[in-house]
Structure 1
């Protein structure tokens, strides 16, 4: 039975990955900060899908938390989903530098370290996959969040090319707005976002798994966001950044 480790696994896209992979017969290792909630989710998945579910409480903004997850990955998993992440409600100049550094720790350092921890075993076994959850924001210019997600996309593509093995896959997943706890946790006002732009987490995960099977290195779920990214490539970056800033506010 294959094993998948998912960070940020108790809500949103992470929880959707847990449901999908449990239904596909994966044993799960779920990583999140909230130990009580982690145990509750693990129990529900065991009961519903009859799979093995391991809880691994860890704060990926800390070296201790990262080290714990790295150690588990070196024991061997078949799929790593780097999903943990968060946003800020303020613009860049209004965010304390400590909070920005914490974002970079979770979005960039954690993705780097966990990917490096899991890939040697995958290469040795000649199979495995890493899905790094980025964002459509990676293709636009708006603060540290979009910059960190652009790094995730670039890192994922570069790593996939360096691995050079179609049986060991690395893919960046770039969803748009998804109905999750993400915006509520960041105290973001989403009332101005048109309803047609919202995606369902389960649909995002289904698209990601399809694109992973097809060997794609970047997955943009939903034709609406594929169009947004395609159009954005032909618009001057000064206009894109100004529009993103106004939309973000």
Structure 2
């Protein structure tokens, strides 16, 4: 069976990726900080789908823990066929008012960690084949503080890597959802109704993951789930950046 490693697997999009991949018959390596949450999820997936689910508790802001995840990805025994870089967190949009150490950790988790895990994955996938999905955001197409900048890097690198390593049988895709009902906003102390975004602007995690997996199978470099957010991305190409930057001050994606 194919083997998928998912970071940030204990909740939100990560847990949804785990469920949908298990339903398709994939064995899993579940990565997150909470050992207890991962064990609970692993038991549920094994019982529901009859697949194998490894638990790898790791704080991806700790170098030794990143090294353990890299070692698992690089292992040739039961190798990884699909890497889902999903782990992340948000910060308030006012960069100058944020703690700079928090901003550095934010940058590391959204840029350095995916880069390290992708490097390890490419080392075992090239020539054998494989897929990498980097969970980015529609925010990556809009100027809005450091979260946007991190996601812009992830989108740009995924586009290049998808073209560069296609000859080696490896696809790399940035998944760019808009506002999605997950625990992301709750961890920031925010409620969806307080984001200033109407209900029609919110996506369901199951739809985001389903469309993302479909686009990854098609070899696409960028996936923007839902027609409404494809339209948003299209508008960013023609509207002045000053206008989109003002609009982007609302909410978190």
TM-score by length of 1: 0.96
2:122 and 2:106 map into 1 onto residues whose CA distance is 23
The 8 Å contact of residues 128 and 167 in structure 1, kept in 2 or not, is answered as: yes
How many residues get paired? 247
Residue 28 of structure 1 corresponds to 28
- Equivalent position SS for 1:85: coil
Of residues 224, 227, 243, the one that matches 1:239 is 243
Residue 45 of structure 2 corresponds to 45
Residue 130 of structure 1 corresponds to 132
- Deviations 1:129-185, CA, capped at 9 Å, x for gaps: 000000000000111111101111011111112213273100000000111000000
Of residues 142, 145, 154, the one that matches 1:152 is 154
Q: Verify: 1:182 aligned to 2:184, yes or no.
A: yes
The 8 Å contact of residues 178 and 198 in structure 1, kept in 2 or not, is answered as: yes
The 8 Å contact of residues 89 and 188 in structure 1, kept in 2 or not, is answered as: no
- Deviations 1:97-132, CA, capped at 9 Å, x for gaps: 01111111110001100000011211131x100000
1:122 and 1:96 map into 2 onto residues whose CA distance is 38
1:181 and 1:120 map into 2 onto residues whose CA distance is 33
The 8 Å contact of residues 185 and 192 in structure 2, kept in 1 or not, is answered as: yes
1:35 and 1:90 map into 2 onto residues whose CA distance is 30
Of residues 190, 198, 205, the one that matches 2:202 is 198
Residue 82 of structure 1 corresponds to 85
Q: 1:140 to 1:236 in 2, by over 3 A?
A: same
1:161 and 1:189 map into 2 onto residues whose CA distance is 39
TM-score by length of 2: 0.94
1:162 and 1:246 map into 2 onto residues whose CA distance is 36
The 8 Å contact of residues 166 and 215 in structure 1, kept in 2 or not, is answered as: no
**What is the root-mean-square deviation of aligned Cα atoms in Å?**
1.2
1:208 and 1:167 map into 2 onto residues whose CA distance is 19
- Deviations 1:63-116, CA, capped at 9 Å, x for gaps: 111101000000120000000011013521221001111111110001100000
Of residues 100, 108, 111, the one that matches 1:108 is 111
Of residues 205, 208, 215, the one that matches 1:211 is 215
Give the CA deviation at 1:240: 1.1
1:165 and 1:54 map into 2 onto residues whose CA distance is 30
Unmatched segments (≥5 aa) in structure 1 = none
- Deviations 1:186-227, CA, capped at 9 Å, x for gaps: 113432211001111111111011111111100000000000
Give the CA deviation at 1:246: 4.6
The 8 Å contact of residues 129 and 169 in structure 1, kept in 2 or not, is answered as: yes
1:200 and 1:189 map into 2 onto residues whose CA distance is 15
1:163 and 1:212 map into 2 onto residues whose CA distance is 14
The 8 Å contact of residues 127 and 168 in structure 2, kept in 1 or not, is answered as: no
Q: 1:230 to 1:90 in 2, by over 3 A?
A: closer
